Each structure stands twice: as C-alpha cells, then as structure tokens.
Structure 1
C-alpha cells in the first residue's frame, strides 16, 4: 500500500487522536480527564472518502485536502485496497482469528431523490458500504430502526453480542436531515501470547486528577518489541496471525494476509499523557519511527496492563468542523450533487450527521471475548537484570494497526480502565 495514501489516513488518525485527548486544563467538563476514548480512524477516513466521490467543486476539494488524498479516484483506490484486506467480509472462523467486524452506510432522505447508480456502485465496490434511501422526514422511526438493524447485522452484533450498537436515535434526526454517514466497528483477535488469568490481580490506577481507582491488571514476563523514547515507552503486543486461518485461505488471489498488533504508548510520568500525545501526533513520519519494529531485538519486559472495555459513540460533526471540514455541512455552499438525483430548488443537499461507534475490549485472551488460553503466570522471581518494567498504572494511549499496510484501524486513550 502506497505510503502517501497510508499517510493521509494516518494524518487524520493523529489529528483525531490529539483532538480527542483529555483537556487537562479545561474547566468545561469535569469528567474530561476520566472519559476513555476509542475510535476507528480507518472507518472515519473511509466514510469521508466515499462522500468525496459524491461531491463537486470546493466541497470535494476540501474533503480531499482533509483526507490527504490527491483525487477522489485515488481515495477510492486506497479505499478498495483497505476494504479488500482489512475490512474484507469474512465468514465465521475459528476462535482467535483476527477480523474487523465493520458496518458502514450512507443513508439519504427520500426528498433528495434517488441515489445515483454511480455513487451506489462506488459505495459497494470500493468501500463495502451500504447506500440506501430512507425517509427521515416522514418515517423517522423506521429510518432509525433500519440504520441500527443494518449496522448490527453487518457487525454480527445481532447474533453474537449482548451489547448491540445503537448508533443513531430518534432525536438525532429531523425533517431537515438529508444525508447520514453511519459506521460502527468491533475488532476480534487473540493475543499471540495471551496473559494468564491466574496472574490478574487488583491494583491502583492513577487518574489524571491525582485520584486512584482499583483496576484489574493483567501481568506477565515475556520478550516483546519495545521502544524506549525520551518521556515514554511503546510496547507492541501482537495478535494471532491469520495466515493459516480458514478465512485467509478463502481470500482472493494476491490479497495480503493481515497481521494486527496493539501498540501501547505509556508516559514515564503519571500525568504525562498530554505531552506524549503532542509528540506522537506531530507527524506521521515520527509516529511510525517510534513504533517498535518487528525486526528489532526483543527485550524481556515485565508487563502490567489493566483490563478495559471502551464503548464509544459520537456524532463527529462538531469535531470535523473544528478540524477544518465545514463545506459538506453548509446549507449555503455544500455541493454533494453526485450523491443523489435531487432537483435543486435553492437548497443544496447537505451532510447532516456523521455518527461513529466502536467497542474495544482488552482482556487476558485478547480483544473482545474469547476463552483464555493457558500461559505461564507472572512470578516475581522471574526478574532478570536486563528486564524492562512496563507498568501501565496511569493514563496511556493505544493504537491497533494492520501491520502489512501500516493502517491504523483503532486508536484511543485509556484514562480510567474501570469506567
């Protein structure tokens, strides 16, 4: 995958990672320093890239600049490569096989006319997105039900999960709603080397406000790829590779086998999260330079990492506006004429809502729910002179990447693992 295309997605991921980081000095929200964050940069990038295919003029130019894409066709080509590998639909497979459970859709109000065939084809063929017409104005309940039902079916939430996505609610639409971009994602994978549940124990986690909470910490001593940078450490925890899985065997010829990992960015100081976030989000090149390389010598690491689950839902309009994307939302100048066949009567079709929802759960076995495999427990006597301590007992940042492409699939901040 071309570095330029990947860097556009990475740049957006880093901007969002910084924007959604806690504002420690802000008095606007007392819970801002306690609220965990998780999002899928890949899904957000795909949604906006698809919208660019239906835009014209200044609106399309702003979207492409925001995405770091030279053209709509190049954005679509990148989208197709990602959709065919990272977001590829996979049949149910054996426990532990990594896969992204993803549901994305474009929902257009019937008053805007039929969705253009060219746009519908791009949505399905390049992005694996659904493009459908609903009636937000006349039948809002049915529209909301259709969106939530489709997203849950696409992410298998209706079949395998107790906690379903409620990605949009009735109060989120109105008679003025034109276009809704809605996506949701889960990630399933087992660690390549799981933690032992026998070693999990309660300990203090230090929050940004100086208070402590009691969290459950997973522990083990293993050799890992680890970067030690001035002010922080980065630990890479690889997930099981699906190269030998049934799903991999059914891929189209030439498709790359996916390899996933979670990288944890841990500040040296207990209140050092904002400084670390500022540093790692400065540029894609620097971000990639501090990640542990798979070809580097491993270090013996004593890991202490809290279990956590983040369910995150957000309407991204205000966030995207603050980051510089405004024209698609503008009733005066939005130009989305290639989405649908509306007869223009002086009011352009606008992007009314961008709703995004993810669930990230980290436990001894991996991300999401699996039975725990056996592993050697942590023992204090295992310590050796060259061992590095990685004690994540204070706020940290994480990213889940697809290794071969370098694409950031999920990212977030853990401020309180008990929330």
Structure 2
C-alpha cells in the first residue's frame, strides 16, 4: 500500500433560481488591496484555521458519533474564503466570522493574503514531501462572471476556471468527477452523485499529501493481529506496527491525555492524541489553538516504544447541513448575496460535499493517536522508554511546519472500517 493521505475535497455547488434578480448592492469592496496591517497574516490565518478545524470537528463528531472522522480543515476553510470573495453584505460577514475571523480586527485583504501565502507554500516543490492543493471552478457557460472575482480567485487561490455545460448533467458530472479522480490519483471516485438542473457553478478544492516517516517502521516488526478496543463493541483485530525511537512525547495531566509527535521527511509532522479511557469527550471539548500551543511546551524528545495500527479510513460529509450551525446561514438560503460573482442572477449554495481518504503504513503518511501509556524501566545502561499503544480510539492532526497550518484532522474509532 502506498503511504499517502489523499484528501480531501470540498465541492460547493451554487444554483441560480429560475427568476433573475438584480441586487441593488454596494460595489465590490472585497477585493484585497495593499494593507499596512501589522503582524504576520499567515500566522493569523493558521491560528484561525486551527480553531475552525476543532469547531468543525466537534460538529462532525456530533453528526457521526462512534465513527471514524477524517477531513481537511484547510480544504474547507480555503474554499469558503474563496467563496467569500464573491459574497456581499451579511453573506460575506457570516462566512468570514464562521471561519473565525473578525473583519474589524483582521482586514479582509489580510485574510486573503494569508490564504494566498498558504496556497503558494503548499505548492512549492519539495523532494522529501508531496503536498499539492488546488481549486477549480466549473462555471455554467451562460453565467457572466464579475471580472474582479475571476482575477481574485486566480491570483489569490491559483484557481482554474472551466466553462461547463450544465444542461447535460451526466456530461457535467463525468467531467467534474473525472477531474476529482485524476487529482487524487484515483483515490476519490464518484464524489458528486447528482447535480441540480439549475446548477450555475461547482467549486472543487483538493489537497493531496504523501510523505514518508523520518523514522519508518520495519515491516518485520508488525504484528498481524492485535486487539483494538472499539466503543460499545467487542475489540477488533488490526495489524500493529512497532518501533522504539526518540520522539517528542508528553502528557497533559489536566486532560489525562498522552501526546506523541512524529515527523515526516519534509517540513510536516503529525500529532497523536490519546485520551485515557472514558476521557475522549473531555479531550474533544478542550481542543483549541491555545491548547496546541500549551502542548508544544509539554513535548520533549524521549525514547518511546510505539505500537501503532496500520489502517485505511475514509469519510464523507454533507456540509450544507453543518455550516449553517456554525453561523454560515444565508449562503444556503434565499437571502444569499453572491452579487460579487455575478450581478445578473441570484445564486445560493445548494451543496457542500467533503470527502477524505487516509492510508497509514510502515513507510509513512499520517496516523494514530494514543492508547495506554506506561513507564517501562529498562536494563541498566539503556535509556528509559515510555510505551504508548494505540489500541483504542485516538485523534491525530497533520500540520504543515512552514506555516503551522493544520492540513488534516482525524479520529480513529475503528481502524478496520474504511
């Protein structure tokens, strides 16, 4: 199995009702302009993305309790930020506030510059790491777009814009799904199942991540059948990888949670979070950017004996039922104002689909959080070693080191469920 995280798509479908509406709105003031805002906009965006990731995670867990969770918060937030370029009035402010930004404190221009830097940083070639992020807008042929919107999505988000014949829904579906399948190396197939007759635009964002561990596991040390505790059910049997190495390790005594950070070749790492038995909900509620900063001070290089499952998981979400609960309401209803995309027709978001696939094996990629932690005393002359066994539900977050941005966030509840 090739070690890779194939992530991750957000598909936003905008529909134009049959009636035409000519909104009397102020002219476009959303296009980013030079700003003298102090501070690093990239770090501000990364911090907001982290908090957005955890807020969205808690919503996904509520919707699919006791199931695996895996998604790319960056894919979702970048897509919504790009969509906000064409939003106006309350629709715009709800999207930006839903993403965790306060336009009074962080100018909109700074927000988009931060995302622009993130997108560029991810797409810089790296011989040790493959991270690729892209966006494409499939536009109804008859739709006349605002020129400034086209300029901004291409310049800031490096998006492609493709004219599409939505009158033939089967052909349009084949084109969109073919693009998705190609960009994810065949991992994500048939993401979009149907298109509404009045679909005007489909926005697709994808993130592809493939990496090898700096300190890989030896396949010969993998146990083929190891018990993994599943909530409210008998345990399942999983292949369990094993190694003893120096890793960043720590314990949050307040949350009764063990933490392990493992590095990939290239500037990327994964943080595994293993709560004590019965403490998962407490951990999930405590997740925040501030908590991550605290953990960074807790982690220390130590000799650690690691037992980690080898697994593949995936998840799909209909975010149009979740984002309104996070404050992004008008975009999905009759009050939607996307006059910055087109003034000729009124548009609203009809579909926001997201799918991610995660593979973890001995060579690399992303993986597991934590199980039971105990202190093992080694023979004299050898380093003491903490033993951490991922044999019950755990969390993981993959972070891009250069920007501090969370690329993927997941919960492994049952590693045998794909």
Query: Could you tell me the TM-score, scaled by structure 2's length?
Result: 0.80
In structure 2, C-alpha distance between the alignment counterparts of 1:121 and 1:382, rounded to whole Å: 65
Pick the aligned partner of 1:356 from 342, 354, 357: 354
Pick the aligned partner of 2:158 from 128, 146, 159: 128
Pick the aligned partner of 1:322 from 325, 328, 332: 325
Pick the aligned partner of 1:336 from 330, 335, 338: 338
Match of 2:11 in 1: none
| Kept after mapping to 2: 8 A contact 1:221/1:303 | yes
Pick the aligned partner of 1:169 from 193, 209, 218: 193
Match of 1:403 in 2: 401
| Kept after mapping to 2: 8 A contact 1:308/1:363 | yes
In structure 2, C-alpha distance between the alignment counterparts of 1:20 and 1:382, rounded to whole Å: 46
In structure 1, C-alpha distance between the alignment counterparts of 2:171 and 2:129, rounded to whole Å: 34
Match of 1:394 in 2: 392
Match of 2:237 in 1: 214
- Can you list the C-alpha shifts for 1:279-336, whole angstroms capped at 9, x where unaligned? 22xx32123321467xx641111111111212223221111112221111112x1110
Match of 2:18 in 1: none
In structure 2, C-alpha distance between the alignment counterparts of 1:330 and 1:343, rounded to whole Å: 18
In structure 2, C-alpha distance between the alignment counterparts of 1:214 and 1:292, rounded to whole Å: 35
In structure 2, C-alpha distance between the alignment counterparts of 1:349 and 1:132, rounded to whole Å: 18
In structure 2, C-alpha distance between the alignment counterparts of 1:60 and 1:232, rounded to whole Å: 38
In structure 2, C-alpha distance between the alignment counterparts of 1:400 and 1:147, rounded to whole Å: 28
**Residue 272, structure 1, aligned to residue 279, structure 2:** yes
Equivalent position SS for 2:189: coil
Equivalent position SS for 1:211: strand
Counterparts in 2 of 1:222 and 1:181: CA distance versus 1, 3 Å: same
In structure 1, C-alpha distance between the alignment counterparts of 2:397 and 2:139, rounded to whole Å: 32
| Kept after mapping to 2: 8 A contact 1:185/1:359 | no
Offset at 1:390?
0.9
The farther-off stretch of 97-106 and 351-360 is: 97-106
Offset at 1:114?
2.1
Counterparts in 2 of 1:200 and 1:22: CA distance versus 1, 3 Å: farther
The farther-off stretch of 227-236 and 351-360 is: 351-360
Offset at 1:63?
1.1
RMSD: 2.4
Structure 1: stretches of 5+ with no match in the other structure: 24-28, 242-258, 369-379
| Kept after mapping to 2: 8 A contact 1:103/1:185 | yes
Q: In proportion to residue count, which structure has more strand?
A: 2
Structure 2: stretches of 5+ with no match in the other structure: 1-39, 367-376
Offset at 1:22?
5.6
Pick the aligned partner of 1:203 from 216, 226, 236: 226
Pick the aligned partner of 2:118 from 36, 60, 82: 82
In structure 2, C-alpha distance between the alignment counterparts of 1:176 and 1:132, rounded to whole Å: 17
Query: Could you tell me the TM-score, scaled by structure 1's length?
Result: 0.80
Offset at 1:55?
0.8
